Amino acid sequence: MPDYALLEKAAYTIINSRYTIALTGAGISVESGIPPFRGEHGIWNRYDPLTLEIDFFYQNPTESWQVIREIFYQFFGNAKPNKAHLALAKLEEAGILQAIITQNIDNLHQEAGNREVYEFHGNSKKLVCTRCGMVYHAGELALDVLPVTCLDCHSLVKPDFVFFGEGIPKDAYFRSMEATERCDLMLVIGTTAEVMPAGQLPGMAKSNGSTIIEINPEPTYLSQTISDIFLQGKAGEVLSVLTDRVLQKMD
Ligand code: NAD
Ligand code: ZN
């Protein structure tokens, strides 16, 4: 846990900011039991990233769906928001946090209660027919026969998250850009910021004059370059203490 003085500095920076946003990555969901992609316990130690490439998906839908089903629907389908997600929901509720840009596809920010969430990489809880565009909620379609197909036109169904080789959803992209240009404080939480283009957002915010507060148990390239305050620790622990401090000071 970061020391008292650094947490105080971060709390005052949050209170004195005009427009605060958060950029979150896989690390914020680790305490919900969802592993990140990279690192020692990362998903890529167990699965081949090729299965999440868009061309591979269309050419080998059954094989791709087998891995998708295991990772996203069986393995972390029942995860619940943790203390970090709940802290961000409190900050939005208190009018202190204006928006979250998330690279996560697990829907946990919305489940925690945040309303202004820009899903840079889509959402695994939604499934879309690749032919007629019909949208399904996960749970509406049986996953026992693969690949998953549309109830209406029987074509291939794809999870509504961004595969490797796909573009960023336009709406989420433009809202994220707008928020990044507008913010004077960005909280960067649980991300290596190495996946592009999301990883460029902290740099863009910084060049527009924004302060960067980073929360991560491990230093990243941001910690050594553009982060103004680096709070080293787990997102759930750091954010719950920090949020309590901020809310106390506002009373
Ligand atoms: P990443 O896998 O590259 O890095 C995860 C980061 O989280 C690391 O910096 C690590 O130090 C940090 N971390 C680990 N435990 C933490 C904790 N308790 N609290 C805070 N931070 C912690 O993740 P990324 O940069 O977000 O990029 C990977 C891509 O994978 C993203 O684009 C995302 O779409 C996808 N992804 C999503 C999920 C999810 O939806 N939960 C899970 C895995 C991967
Ligand atoms: Zn269809």
Task: Give the atom of ligand 1 at the shortest distance from the alpha carbon of 104.
Answer: 40
Pocket of ligand 1 (CB under 6 A): 25-31, 34, 36-39, 43, 103-106, 121, 190-192, 194-195, 216-218, 220, 234-235
Q: Which residue has the tokens 């203390």?
A: 83
- Return the bridge partners of 225, or none: none
Which residue, 38, 30, 15, is CA-closest to 215? 30
The whole-number pLDDT of residue 251 equals 77
Choose which residue among 46, 52, 88, 104 to substitute to test ligand 1 binding: the one with the highest number of ligand atoms within 8 A of its C-beta.
Answer: 104
Average pLDDT of the segment spanning 178-192 = 98
Res. 36: pLDDT tops 90 = no
Rounded Cα gap, residues 28 and 104, in angstroms: 9
Choose which residue among 76, 195, 223 to substitute to test ligand 1 binding: the one with the highest number of ligand atoms within 8 A of its C-beta.
Answer: 195
Rounded Cα gap, residues 141 and 149, in angstroms: 8
The mean pLDDT value of the chain amounts to 95
User: Which percentage of the chain shows pLDDT scores above 90?
Assistant: 88
The whole-number pLDDT of residue 35 equals 86
End-to-end CA distance of the chain: 25
Which residue, 178, 232, 158, 218, is CA-closest to 1? 232
Q: How confident is residue 161, by pLDDT bands cut at 50, 70 and 90? A: very high
The whole-number pLDDT of residue 243 equals 98
> Are residues 180 and 201 in contact, defined by beta-carbon separation less than 8 angstroms?
yes
The whole-number pLDDT of residue 45 equals 83
For the ranges 37-46, 48-57, 87-96, the lowest mean pLDDT is seen at 37-46
Task: Give the atom of ligand 1 at the shortest distance from the alpha carbon of 26.
Answer: 26
Rounded Cα gap, residues 97 and 68, in angstroms: 33
For the annotated catalytic residues, the residue numbers are 121
Average pLDDT of the segment spanning 165-193 = 97
Continuous H helices in 44-97: 54-59, 61-68, 83-93
Q: How many helices (H) and strands (E) does the chain have?
A: 9, 9
Ligand 1, atom 13: closest residue by C-alpha: 27
Ligand 1, atom 32: closest residue by C-alpha: 103
The whole-number pLDDT of residue 146 equals 96
Choose which residue among 191, 215, 231, 238 to substitute to test ligand 1 binding: the one with the highest number of ligand atoms within 8 A of its C-beta.
Answer: 191
Q: Is 9 helix (H, G, I), strand (E, B) or coil?
A: helix
Q: Between the CA atoms of 223, 110, 178 and 175, what dihedral angle is there, to the nearest 10 degrees?
A: 130
Q: Ligand 2 center to residue 226 CA distance, Å?
A: 46
Per residue in 223-245, pLDDT tens? Answer: 999 999 999 999 999 999 999 99
Question: How open is the CA angle 161-22-102, to the nearest 5 degrees?
Answer: 5
Task: Give the atom of ligand 1 at the shortest distance from the alpha carbon of 38.
Answer: 2
Continuous H helices in the chain: 4-15, 54-59, 61-68, 83-93, 108-112, 170-182, 201-207, 221-224, 235-250
Who's near 137: CB < 8 A, 6+ residues apart? 125, 126, 127
The whole-number pLDDT of residue 77 equals 73
Strand 157-161 relative to strand 122-129, pairing? antiparallel
